[in-house]
């Protein structure tokens, strides 16, 4: 169901898998922006928009954590580069 943490998690993971399939790649941050646009178009109230946005951020952080070990570790790696 649109707007749930599970919906956004699945969408982000599908994008990761699609990126590995050889199609046009879209970064997770770009996918998050696209999903934010969808939220803006589908939310029926400011409260619903806030809830959907919060769920998207939870899903994004979960996927990042699963893939890279956590946001803090990713930021540390970026600083070293």
Give the pLDDT confidence of 9-52 residue by residue, as tens digits: 999 999 999 999 987 899 999 999 999 999 999 999 999 999 99
User: Which secondary-structure segment (H or E) carries 43?
Assistant: none
Residues 6+ apart with CB under 8 A from 39: 3, 49, 52, 53, 56
Compute how many other C-beta atoms are within 10 angstroms of the C-beta atom of residue 71: 12
What are the φ and ψ backbone dihedral angles of 10, each rounded to 5 degrees?
Answer: -60, -45
C-alpha 47/C-alpha 14 separation (Å) is 27
Provide the pLDDT for residue 73: 54
What are the φ and ψ backbone dihedral angles of 43, each rounded to 5 degrees?
Answer: -65, 135
Total-model pTM: 0.81
């Amino acid at each position: 169901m649109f707007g749930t943490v599970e919906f956004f998690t699945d969408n982000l993971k599908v994008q990761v898998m699609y990126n590995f399939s050889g199609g046009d790649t879209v970064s997770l941050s770009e996918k998050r922006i696209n999903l934010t646009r969808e939220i803006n178009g589908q939310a029926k109230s400011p409260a619903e928009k806030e809830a959907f946005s919060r769920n998207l951020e939870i899903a994004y952080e979960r996927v990042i954590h699963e893939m890279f070990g956590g946001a803090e570790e990713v930021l540390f790696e970026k600083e070293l580069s």
